[in-house]
Each structure stands twice: as structure tokens, then as C-alpha cells.
Structure 1
Amino acid sequence: MMKLTEFFHKELIVTNLQANNKEEVFEVLFNKLLENGYVKESFLEGIMTREKNFPTGLLLNGNNVAIPHTDPEHVLKPAIAVATLSKPVVFKNMANPQEDVNVNIVFMIALNAAHSQVELLQRLVEMIQNENLLEEILKAKGGDEVVKIIESYQTLEKE
């Protein structure tokens, strides 16, 4: 069974990011992934293109989330980069691409072919439906805190 916590690393997490649009969020998270050796240069363009064609905004009960991802050939090592936003940015709704979603938290997923994207996405979607967890993540100051919150969630869920 894959553990979600294996994919989160404090150096890939940005809290309280001030961004004007999703492209700025993508660039910040892409740079974290690139600097730390998780993705290739081509990853950013892959994310941007895929987001245009297949939006990843998820309308939830309180805080909305986006889960941008792209093809495995842009990825060196699997990881999930995270940004919590000081004010929401607009994504298009995955369920209805015409509709805008104001997103507070972005989980940028970098998976190589060795991992089942479907399984990971299911686990992540399960996790983000936990409203209390999202609240905690949004309040977190720094990557270490976010990782701890996700670890404690994981322990509760899977015991």
C-alpha cells in the first residue's frame, strides 16, 4: 500500500504564497521541484498545457484545491509539491471546465511511470475531502508543519 507521506517533502512546500494567478503558483512549485531534482525542465510546460486542456480545480465544501499534474516523461523522482495561498487564485473546475474555482491550496503532482497515478490521485482526493485537515494545512507555517499534519492524518486513516 503506498503511503501518501512518502511523496511530501518540506523543501517542496510553500506556505502563505502570494500569487496573482495559477501560472505564478506553477512557476514557484516547478522551481522547487526542479532545484531539488524531482523534475525535468520540460515539466512546467507539461503542467501548463495539461491544465489548459484538463483543468484540475476541485470545488470542495470550504477550501478549494487544485491538483495539477502532467505526463511521467517530465518527472525524475515522484513527489507532491504544495502551495498554500495567502489569497485564492482562479482555476477552472475539473468537473465543469467552464466554471471558475477559487483555489486556496495547490498540490502539484509529479509522478514517474513507476507509480500508479490513479491510485495516488484517489488517495489524495480522499485526503483533501477532510475539511479539518485542509484548515490545518492552511494555517501551517512552513513545510515541516505541513508534513507533520499529513503524517498525523495518515496515521489516523490507516491504523
Structure 2
Amino acid sequence: MELYLHEELVFRDLDVKNSDEALDYLAKQLFEKGYVKEQYITAIKEREREYPTGLPSTQPAVAIPHANYELVNKTTLAIATLKKSVGFHNMEENAVTLPVQIIIMMAIGEPHGQVEMLQKIVGLIQNEPLRKKMINAHNDQELLKLVEMAIQ
């Protein structure tokens, strides 16, 4: 699976009021830069309501929103750290809201690619020191490098 990771899809200290605003912002960036089709913007929010992507962990918590591979032009990840955490519903227990501060939006253009990418991202999620480094990254290159090292 060919994965394009680009600094143009790295957003540090994003200031959003809620998860919807965060999803909207990242999906629009993916669309404007040609990685996904326009329907991806709506699809990602609809999918999040049905199948939440907040992952239970210690702080800072991570969400991994994604939408159907058919809406993706080029496989990539949009990565954001948030100024203040926002509530995402827990993937394992919908009724529970998690304070998420890292969002890794997956735009995977292959039917089985999401599972493969999820497995790589799990390593990152289980690594609390790495997540803290992501939040404290001084620039976009540093944040991108941390993610690249984690998912190779």
C-alpha cells in the first residue's frame, strides 16, 4: 500500500470547539488538496456518528476517523494535534465520551488498506511517551517524523 505523508496535512495546535468542527476541518483540507472526493467530508461525519473512532487510552487520547475507500483519490493521513481536547465517542463503548487531543484521519484508497493502517496506528496509540511527544512537537516536520517512525 502506497502511503503519501505530507507536511501540508499536518496541523498542530488546531483550535476547534468540538469533534464535528475538527472532522470538518481535516476532511476539507484533504478535499481541497485533492486526496479525497467532496462526499468524503459528509461521509466522515456520518460514519463517526454511527461508528465512533475515539480510542480508549491514557492522555493524550487519539481518534482515527475514516470513510469509505471509494471516496479516496490518494492514500494518506491527515494528522492534527488539538490546542484543547474535544469529546469523541469511545469506539468500544458508544455512550462514553473521550477527551481526544490527537486526530489521525485516514484516507485509505484500498478496500483492505484500512485494517493494515489501523494495525500500524495501534502501535502509536499504545505508546504514551510518543503521543506526548506528538502534542509537544515544535513544528510540523517534527510531528510528521514522529508519525512516520511509528507507522513504518
Q: Secondary structure at the match of 2:95?
A: coil
Q: Determine if contact 1:13/1:142 at 8 Å carries over to the other structure.
A: no
Deviations 1:10-69 (A, max 9, x none): 100110011000111112111221121100100011101100000000111221110001
Q: Determine if contact 2:123/2:150 at 8 Å carries over to the other structure.
A: no
TM-score in terms of structure 2 length: 0.92
Q: Determine if contact 1:20/1:89 at 8 Å carries over to the other structure.
A: yes
Aligned partner letter, 2:62: V
Q: Determine if contact 1:83/1:107 at 8 Å carries over to the other structure.
A: yes
For the pair 1:113 / 2:124, whether they are aligned, the reply is no
Match of 1:60 among 57, 66, 73: 57
For the pair 1:25 / 2:22, whether they are aligned, the reply is yes
**Structure 2: where are the runs of 5+ without partners?**
none
More displaced 10-residue stretch of structure 1: 93-102 or 114-123:
114-123
**Structure 1: where are the runs of 5+ without partners?**
none
Residue 35 of structure 1: aligned partner: 32
Q: Secondary structure at the match of 1:90?
A: strand
| Structural RMSD (CA) | 1.7
Deviations 1:124-153 (A, max 9, x none): 112221111111110113321111223344
Seen in structure 2, the aligned counterparts of structure 1 residues 32 and 41 have a Cα distance that, compared at 3 Å, is same
TM-score in terms of structure 1 length: 0.88
Residue 146 of structure 1: aligned partner: 143
Q: Determine if contact 2:52/2:94 at 8 Å carries over to the other structure.
A: yes
Q: Secondary structure at the match of 2:9?
A: strand
Q: Determine if contact 1:88/1:102 at 8 Å carries over to the other structure.
A: yes
- Residues in 1 aligned to 2:149 and 2:52: alpha-carbon distance in whole angstroms: 30
- Residues in 1 aligned to 2:89 and 2:123: alpha-carbon distance in whole angstroms: 20
How many residues are paired up? Answer: 152
